[in-house]
Structure 1
């Protein structure tokens, strides 16, 4: 069990799950066991996959079915979002901010010819401090992230770091950070609008009890 000083047990559990989900050495069976140890998370994950948001071709009845349908990487993404959405004692708006930031980074990464999944992870993990009430440096330390992603989050370095900076600029109304991007302004506006719409449609599904 990974331990982070002064982190509440429920939040520590979420951080430990994230480490397991994003560890490239974790076996699929280990991930299934880790998810299965949280009945609420497992229930929400299966319910979400069976919802109109996914509209699966057949009913998903088990974590194994979910893994087969989504694949390892997408399963990690959606399980992470649900786990973060279950965190207690947070303002309801925080989850929407987290979702919008991650989605905008994904969209901008794809627009820049980068891997959208990496952009999503950078955006998502850059907001862990909002949800877990600890400095990002502390929260990221036990997570098995590639150094390039870690540097993008903490130092805004590289192409993904520049994308994160733009997403934060939109979030915080920092015009100088927005205009510094090499991406066309129309593309930035479209990504922002799409990300906000996506976050609004999903935040209720993830955050409800």
Structure 2
């Protein structure tokens, strides 16, 4: 396999409770019809999809020709979606045979190619994209008795009104789209408390008042934050053999450098009314930025916070410039987040491009000077997913 054979990104698909139920695996941008099947084949052979997708269902879009060329995956729950307009009744026998072999099939925009009830019985899933149809059309189509019992996935959900209509009409549906990053405003005071503590910690660090005793006084304002920081010392990350009973001792074990990272994570995790997958996505990006930074610029600090804070607008529903105005961060971190400047800004741009599958935006020629290839970048991505899952469980 060549180093550029396998590049992919994943997209979280959630249920009405904002729980991640599946991951949509996207083809690389610019892939041609001639190598789509080879990409999918190598994806199954060369990538640990169970690890990457955290044992969730995998959604892919393909064609009937590609599907026949793919090996049957018995160790993962995979659903392959086919475009309705490319199918006809003469494909029924082939689709039935694939279903008998164990393939799970989904149909994309079935209203575009009316089929018989027997034909629809081959499919267990239905897909719609709101950039191609409307909420009303989806609800009307799913009222068809031949489709009503199937699992429906709606993509490109971009507005709260759309989401509310879909959840009410399709309570067992699966959803994905930009709106998952822009849900309702936060209510309650916990996040405000954490934000104040974070600001005070950053001010203390910038003023070189960073003794564990002073920092502990800020942490101990909030009992839940104190508990989480003390609990962290007993994790596999720090392997403390001491019985830690106060924030000051916990800070001495964790280290002042890591304290801001963990307080920020607790702050993000305290936000209510957001999809559960959003936190894991922010954490994965932070780890990816940190790992790429360690490879490119071993002495550079701040990459983890840059990756994590790039998700601040999604959690706090405010413009990033307004959010950062209150945070006394170092100038290079703010420049990276607001203007994509500096080495940290370059790292964040590469990570965002990789996550969205925009491979042409990744400067592989420049990265090759640092021995970063398409293959090594993929390995850093998978490593980051593992680290994020471990950190998210603490």
Q: Tell me the TM-score normalized by structure 2.
A: 0.47
- Say whether 1:14 aligns with 2:203: no
Is residue 2:66 matched to residue 1:66?
no
* Structure 1 equivalent of residue 216 of structure 2: 32
Structure-1 residue corresponding to 2:117: none
TM alignment of 1:18-167, pairs within 5 A: 18-23=198-203, 24-25=206-207, 26-28=209-211, 29-115=213-299, 117-167=301-351
Determine if contact 2:201/2:260 at 8 Å carries over to the other structure.
Answer: yes
1:114, distance to aligned residue in structure 2 (A): 4.2
Q: Deviations over 1:155-182 (max 9, x none)?
A: 1111111100111122222222235562
**Equivalent in the alignment of 2:22:** none
1:172 aligns with 2:356: yes
Distance of 1:155 and 1:185 partners within structure 2: 26
Paired residues of 1:14 and 1:84 also in contact (CA < 8 A): no
Q: 1:33 to 1:120 in 2, by over 3 A?
A: same
Distance 2:186 2:352 in 1: 25
What is the alpha-carbon distance in structure 1 between the residues aligned to residue 322 and residue 186 of structure 2?
10
The corresponding residue for 1:184 is 373
**2:85 alignment counterpart:** none
| Aligned length, in residue pairs | 200
Matched, 1:204 2:384: no
Task: Work out which structure has the larger RCO, using CA pairs closer than 8 Å and 6 or more positions apart in sequence.
Answer: 1
Aligned partners of 2:338 and 2:355: how far apart in 1? 17
- Please tell me whether the aligned partners of residues 100 and 199 of structure 1 are also in contact (alpha carbons under 8 angstroms): yes
Q: Identify the range of structure 1 (61-70 vs 116-125) with the bigger mean alpha-carbon deviation.
A: 116-125
Select between 22-31 and 196-205 the one with higher mean Cα deviation.
22-31
- Counterpart CA distance in 1 for 2:237 and 2:210 is 28
- Rounded to whole Å, the distance in 1 between the matches of 2:355 and 2:228 is 28
Give me the whole-angstrom Cα distance separating, in 1, the residues matched to 2:376 and 2:384. Answer: 12
Secondary structure of the 2:235 match is coil
Distance in 2, matches of 1:108 and 1:121, equals 13
Higher deviation after alignment, 159-168 or 108-117: 108-117
- Residues 160, 54 of structure 1: alpha-carbon distance in 2 compared, 3 angstrom cutoff: same
Give structure 1 stretches of 5+ with no counterpart: 1-5
Alignment partner of 1:19: what SS?
Answer: helix
Q: Which has the larger radius of gyration?
A: 2
Alpha-carbon contact 1:17-1:34 (below 8 Å) kept: yes
CA RMSD of aligned residues (A): 2.0
Q: Which moved more, 1:18-27 or 1:65-74?
A: 18-27
More helix by proportion, 1 or 2? 1
- Contact 1:99-1:124 at 8 Å conserved across structures: yes
The SS at the match of 2:297 is coil
